[in-house]
Structure 1
Amino acid sequence: MADIHELVDRMRSIRDTLKITNAMYLISSNNFQKSKRKLENAEPYYYNIQYAMLRILRNLEEDVTVYIKKNNDEGKKKKRAFVIIGCDKGMAGDYNHEVLRNVEKFMGECESSRNFVLGELTRHTLVSHGIPVEKDFIKNVASPTQHRARLVMSKVLPLYKSGEVDEVWILYTMLDNGVAPDLIMEKLLPLERDESVWVNGMHMSDWGAGMHYESVEMLPSPEAVMDVVIPNYLTGYIYCSMLQSNCSEENSRMKAMKNACDNANDMLTELEGSYNRARQAQITQEITEIIAGATAQKK
C-alpha cells in the first residue's frame, strides 16, 4: 500500500490539474457556443451560394468554361491542390491526428499535391511527417472571416486557371448531428454539373424535376460571368468550411476536457479510498501500540 504522504501529494496534484481542465472545459464550451452561433448565422449564405451555383450550372453547356469539365479519365492520377483546415491549438483529443490520417490517404491517390494549410498545429504535424506545405495560414482557424477565406482562394485559384493543378480539394471537419465531428473531403474545382453541387444537404441530381428553373442569359460571355462568380463562390465555400471546422474543433476540445475532468474525478475517488484505508490502518496500528505499551507497564 502506498505511503500516506505519497497519496496526499498525488491527490493534491490531481486536484490542481482538475482545476486547469475544468477551466479549459468552460472556456471551450463558451467558444463552442460562439462558433455554433456564427455557423448558424452563416449557413443561409452557405446554402444560397450553392443554390445560386446550381442555377448557373443548369444553364451552362458542358466545357464552355475552364471551371466546368467532365471527368473522362477516371484512371489517371491528377495533380491536386489541397486546402487543409486544421487547428491552431492542441488538447482536442485525436482531432489533429484524424486530419493527418485522411491527408495521407488522399495524397496517395494523386500524382502530386500542393498543400495549403490553415492551422499552426496542423502545419507542424504535417511537416513533421514529411508532408510538404506550400503555404500556411496560421491563426486563421480560431477566428474565421471572409477576408481570410479570400486570401486562401487567391492562392489556389490561379494555380487551377494556369493549369498547374488539375483539381482543387478542400478538407475540413463537420459536426455530425451536432455531436461527433466528421472529416469531409470535397472537390472545389472543376465543377461537374451532375455531381459537384450540394444544396442544404441535397444532391443536385435529387432536386425535383418539377421545380422551376428560369433560363439565364450570361453576358458578355459565360467565361466572363464565371470569372466573377467562381472567386466569390470559392470564398464563401472556404469561409463556411472554416466555421464548420472551428465549431468541430471546439466541440472536440470540450469533449476532451470533459473526459479529462471525469478521469481526474475517478482517480481522486480511487485515491481517497486508498488514503482512507491507509489512514485507518495507521490509526489501528497506533491504537495497538498504545494498548501493547500499557499492557507491558502493568506487568
Structure 2
Amino acid sequence: MGASLNEIKQRIASTKKTSQITNAMQMVSGAKLTKSEVASRSFQEYASKIRSIVTHLVAAQLSDLEELDSYDSEEASETGNYHMMLTSRPVKKTGYIVITSDKGLVGGYNSSILKQTMKMMADDHKSQDEFVLIAIGGTGADFFKARGINVAYELRGLSDQPSFDEVRKIVSTATTMYENEVFDELYVCYNHHINSLTSQFRVEKMLPISDLDPDEATTYEQEYILEPSEEAILDNLLPQYAESLIYGAIIDAKTAEHAAGMTAMKTATDNAQNIISDLTISYNRARQGAITQEITEIVAGAAALE
C-alpha cells in the first residue's frame, strides 16, 4: 500500500507540472492570438484601399461591361483590352497553396485542412499531372511528400506574425507561375479564423482575379491622372493585389492557428486538472485504507496480548 501511495503522489506531481506547462502555453497562444487579430484588422484596411483602387481602374478599363462574368467571355478575351490576371483561360493545370502549421499542439487544425484538401483534389483531379501544389508550413509539406505528392514549392518557419517580406518570395513565385502559365488558376486552402473557439476550412480562388465588381467603383468628379499609362500601372498593381490576397489568407490562417493552439492547450490543462482531481481522490482513499489497516493491526495485536 505504501508503494501505491508513493506512485499516486508521483503521478499527481508530474501531472501538476504538465498542467503548469500547458497553462503557460495557453497564455502564450492567447497573447499571439491577440497580436494576430490586431495585424489582421490592420491588413483589412490596406486590402480595402487597394481593392478600391484596383476596382476603379478595372471599371474604367472595362466600362463597356455590366457584369464581372463578362471577363470570362471569349469576346472579352479577344479584345486585347483585358489584363491576363482578370481573364480566364482553359484550365490545363490548377495551382493550390495549402497553409498549415510548422508544428503540432494545435488540436485538429492541421488534420482538418489536409483531410478536406485531399478529398477536394481527389474529387476534382484524375492524376497529379492536373495540379501543382505549394505548401506553406512544414506539417503540410511533410504530409504530401509522405504520400508521394510532389510539392513544387514550400515555405517553413514562418514567424508568429509573418511580415510581407517573409512571404514575398512564395507569393511572388505563385503569381509568376500563373503568369508563365505553369497553372491556369490558383486556389488557397486554409482554415479561416472566426473566433477563438471556431475556425472554418476555406478554399478561395486567387487567380484569375474574379471577385472585383465594377459597380463598386468609386465615382470621382475628377478622374485619376495616370502616369505612365493605365496598362503599365495595372501590370504592376494587379500582381501586387493578387499577392496581397494571398498574404491576407496567410495572416488569417496564422490567426486560426494561434486560436487552435490556445484551445488545445486549454483542453489539455482542463484534462490535467481532472486527472489530478481523480488521483487526489484515489490517494485519499488509499491513505485512509492504510490508516484503517494500521489501526486494525494495532487493535488485533493488543487483543492478542490480553
* TM-score band, normalised by shorter chain: 0.7 to 0.9
**RMSD (CA atoms):** 2.6
Work out whether residues 171 and 247 of structure 2, in 8 Å CA contact, stay in contact via their aligned partners in 1: no
Query: Partners in 1 of 2:197 and 2:7 — Cα distance?
Result: 40
Question: Which of residues 229, 232, 247 in structure 2 aligns to 1:224?
Answer: 232
Work out whether residues 57 and 230 of structure 2, in 8 Å CA contact, stay in contact via their aligned partners in 1: no
**Partner amino acid for 1:213?**
T
Query: Partners in 2 of 1:38 and 1:217 — Cα distance?
Result: 32
| Residue 113 in structure 1 maps to residue 121 in structure 2 | no
TM-score by length of 2: 0.83
Work out whether residues 141 and 242 of structure 1, in 8 Å CA contact, stay in contact via their aligned partners in 2: no
Describe the superposition over 1:118-141 as per-residue Cα deviations: whole angstroms up to 9, x where unpaired. Answer: 112222222223332111111125
Superposition deviation, residue 219 in structure 1: 6.9
Residue in 2 aligned with 1:174? 192
Correspondences of 1:211-250 after superposition (within 5 Å): 212-214=218-220, 223-250=231-258
Query: Partners in 2 of 1:114 and 1:218 — Cα distance?
Result: 37
**Matched residue count:** 282
Correspondences of 1:1-299 after superposition (within 5 Å): 3-61=4-62, 62-63=76-77, 64-70=82-88, 78-108=92-122, 109-110=124-125, 112-140=130-158, 142-177=160-195, 179-192=197-210, 196-197=211-212, 204=213, 212-214=218-220, 223-298=231-306
Describe the superposition over 1:146-200 as per-residue Cα deviations: whole angstroms up to 9, x where unpaired. Answer: 12332122211222122221101112222114541122211111123xxx24xxx
Structure having the higher helix fraction is 2
Work out whether residues 92 and 252 of structure 1, in 8 Å CA contact, stay in contact via their aligned partners in 2: yes
Q: Residue 61 of structure 2: SS of its match in structure 1?
A: coil
Structure 1 residue runs without a partner (length 5+): 198-203
Query: Partners in 2 of 1:234 and 1:65 — Cα distance?
Result: 13
**Partner amino acid for 2:118?**
E
**Partner amino acid for 2:93?**
K
Superposition deviation, residue 217 in structure 1: 8.6
Q: 1:226 to 1:102 in 2, by over 3 A?
A: farther
Work out whether residues 144 and 239 of structure 1, in 8 Å CA contact, stay in contact via their aligned partners in 2: no
Structure 2 residue runs without a partner (length 5+): 63-75
Query: Partners in 2 of 1:34 and 1:70 — Cα distance?
Result: 37
TM-score by length of 1: 0.85
Select between 87-96 and 97-106 the one with higher mean Cα deviation.
Answer: 97-106
Identical-residue share of aligned pairs (%):
29
